Amino acid sequence: MAGLAADNLTCIKRDRVLFTDLSFALLPGRLIYLRGPNGAGKTSLLRILTGLSAPDAGELSLDGQPLERQRDTFNQQLIYVGHKAGLNGALTAMENLRFWCAQHGAEFVPADTYRVLALLGLVGLEEVPVRMLSAGQQRRVALSRLWLKKATYWILDEPFTALDTDGIALLEKHMRQHVAQNGAIITTSHQPLSDLAGPMEELVLEYRL
């Protein structure tokens, strides 16, 4: 089957089973809204999907083949935006993005990067160390990756954090467009996604004692 499939995943942290026997598929052209209370295991699940951590049981596959044999291929097709912005505060937005592109196999084209930063409302802030930007501006720099690299799979952990209403709408529209172009997204959010994000499936993690 095309897509990223999780088969019977189990995740245990400090003797607490966060989830077990969790199976689902993230298919091209689909958006999964992953929700659940604080501590349910949403970030833990997303980290497993990205390969940053391993499940305690279960398998992941990409296009029907074990994911662990295709990590490089998957990484080329993946953008992960974690709940922390993942920026170096001492570097400017342009420097951060140049570094990120080099690390993630994306071509860094300064003119395109300025254009994306402008789209995200950051004109005049491109050369400022990001530690001097507001929380929402830093989030916008982090999210600009979604405009700079072509990748089928987007794994997003609380991407709306600190964004104002215009920022939320901009991101939701971009997500919808990505899915319409056969992209695949799994995202967490403590605020419900609006219709701007387009059709979605829900994956709910309950808090287990």
Could you list the residues that contact ligand ATP (CB under 6 A)? 13-14, 18, 36, 38-44
What length is written for the chain? 209
Helix H or strand E segment including 184: strand 184-188
SS3 95: helix
Contact 207, 39 (CB under 8 A): yes
Task: Output the six-digit token pair for 66.
Answer: 């074990």
- Which is closer to ligand ATP, CB of 47 or CB of 176? 47
Q: What angle do CA 19, 24, 29 make, to 5 degrees?
A: 140
Instruction: Tell me the closest approach of the beta carbon of residue 166 to ligand ATP, in angstroms.
Output: 24
- Which is closer to ligand ATP, CB of 44 or CB of 96? 44
Distance CA 147, CA 156 (A): 14
Give burial (CB, 10 Å; 0-12/13-18/19+) of 42: buried
- Which is closer to ligand ATP, CB of 18 or CB of 148? 18
Instruction: Tell me the closest approach of the beta carbon of residue 204 to ligand ATP, in angstroms.
Output: 11
- Which is closer to ligand ATP, CB of 17 or CB of 90? 17
- Which is closer to ligand ATP, CB of 92 or CB of 189? 189
Instruction: Tell me the closest approach of the beta carbon of residue 171 to ligand ATP, in angstroms.
Output: 18
Instruction: Tell me the closest approach of the beta carbon of residue 91 to ligand ATP, in angstroms.
Output: 26
Instruction: Tell me the closest approach of the beta carbon of residue 136 to ligand ATP, in angstroms.
Output: 19
